Chains A and B, each alone.
Chain A
C-alpha cells in the first residue's frame, strides 16, 4: 500500500483547553490532532480537497456531507481512498 508521510513536527500535544490530544491512525500512519477535531478538519489539515478522497473511520464509510459533524475520538483509524485504474 502506498501512503504519504505525514509531518508530525507540529502535531499538538494538547487541545486549547488542555484536553489530551487524540492519537489517530491515518492511512496507516500515526497522527495526533487536538481533541474535538472533526473529520473535515483533519482533511483540511492534510490539504485534501473534500471531493478528492472518500473517507472511512474505523471501517465505516463517512459521507462527505457528514465529515464536519463527525468528531474524531482517540484511537480512531481514518482511511482515505482515491480512484485508481482497475480491471
Chain B
C-alpha cells in the first residue's frame, strides 16, 4: 500500500471473506510493458488484479507474449480475479469459469456474459443463469452487471454476495452515467458488497463511486492507457481512498438555495 494512501484502521474491507487494505481492483490489460504493469500495481496499492482466458496455445518461452505480464501479476502477490470476457452465453461462461479455476487456482470469477457487441453490456438473463450454476459449483461469483435493480436482485437471489454494476460501457471513460441507479442499488442492497466496474475515466469518477457508498472500484483502461500509467494508478488509489474517507465523514447534502456559511447574523450595518 503506498505510504501516502492511508487506510483508517477502523475501516476494514472484506471481499468475499478476504480482508484487504485496498478498495481498488485493477485490470491487467493494455499496459505498454510488464514492468509498467508491475509498477502500476505497486503504485495503486491494489491487492486484486483481473486476468482473462483466451483460446490459444501457450506462446513458448516464459516471458514471451502474455506470459511476461502474467508472471508479473502472479509475482505481485495480488489475489487473481479471472474473467469470462468474450462469452455470449451462460454455457460458455460456465465452461470458461471452470477452466479459470483449474488454471489459476482460484474459485473467484468475474462473470461477464455480453449481450451486445457494441456496448459490451451484460446479458442479464444469461448472466443470471451462469451465476446460478457457478454458485452451485462452488465459485465466488463477481458478476459484471448493469445498474438495473431488478436484475441485480435476481443475481442476489442466485447466491451472489458481490455485485459489480457498470458505471458506463467498458473502456468508454464516461464515468458514472446513472448515479441515481447506482445510489438506488446501494440503498436497496445495503448488506451486499458493491463494486463499480467499467467506464471509469478519471480519478474523480472513482471518488464519486466511493462517495455513493460503494465498497470498491474496478478499472483498467483509465490506468493502462494513461500517458503515465504508474502515476495514474497512484492517482486512482488516492481518489478511491479519498472518496471512501469522505463518504464515512459525512457528505454535505446538496441544497437548491444558498446556505450562508459565515455566521454574521444578518446585514452588518442594518440596525
Spell out A's residues near B (CB within 8 Å): 1-4, 27-28, 46, 48-49, 51-56, 59-61, 63-64, 79-87
Contact = CB atoms under 8 A, between A and B. Distances in A.
Given A81-B54, A81-B55, A86 B29 contact: yes
Interface residues of chain B: helix, strand, loop or mixed (majority): mixed
B177 interface: no
A2 B73 CA distance: 22
Contacts of B24: none
A54 B56 contact: no
B91 A83 contact: no
A82 B53 CA distance: 6
A83 B55 contact: no
Nearest to B52: A86
A87 B221 contact: yes
Contacts, number: 114
Interface string B49-82: 0111111111000000010011001000000001
Interface of B: 27-31, 37, 50-58, 66, 69-70, 73, 82-83, 85, 91-92, 94-96, 98-100, 102-104, 170-171, 219-221
B102 A46 contact: no
Contacts of B83: 86-87
A42 B95 CA distance: 20
Contacts of A1: 54-56
Report the 7 A-B pairs with minimum CB-CB distance, sorted nearest first: A86-B52, A87-B27, A87-B220, A54-B99, A61-B98, A85-B28, A4-B57
Contacts of B37: 85
B251 to A, nearest CB: 29
Nearest to A86: B52
Given A46-B57, A61-B98, A85 B103 contact: no
Given A54-B102, A59-B92, A86 B56 contact: no
Given A2-B56, A56-B95, A82 B170 contact: no
Contacts of B58: 48-49, 52-53, 82
14 contacts: A4-B56, A53-B57, A54-B103, A61-B94, A61-B99, A64-B102, A81-B96, A82-B103, A84-B56, A84-B69, A85-B29, A86-B51, A86-B53, A87-B220
Contacts of B100: 54, 83
B85 A61 contact: no
Given A3-B56, A59-B95, A87 B102 contact: no
Given A86-B85, A87-B27, A87-B29, A79 B55 contact: yes
A86 B28 contact: yes
A63 B95 CA distance: 11
B54 A84 contact: yes
Nearest to B95: A61
Given A83-B51, A85-B27, A85-B73, 7 more contacts: A48-B58, A59-B92, A59-B95, A80-B57, A83-B70, A84-B66, A87-B27
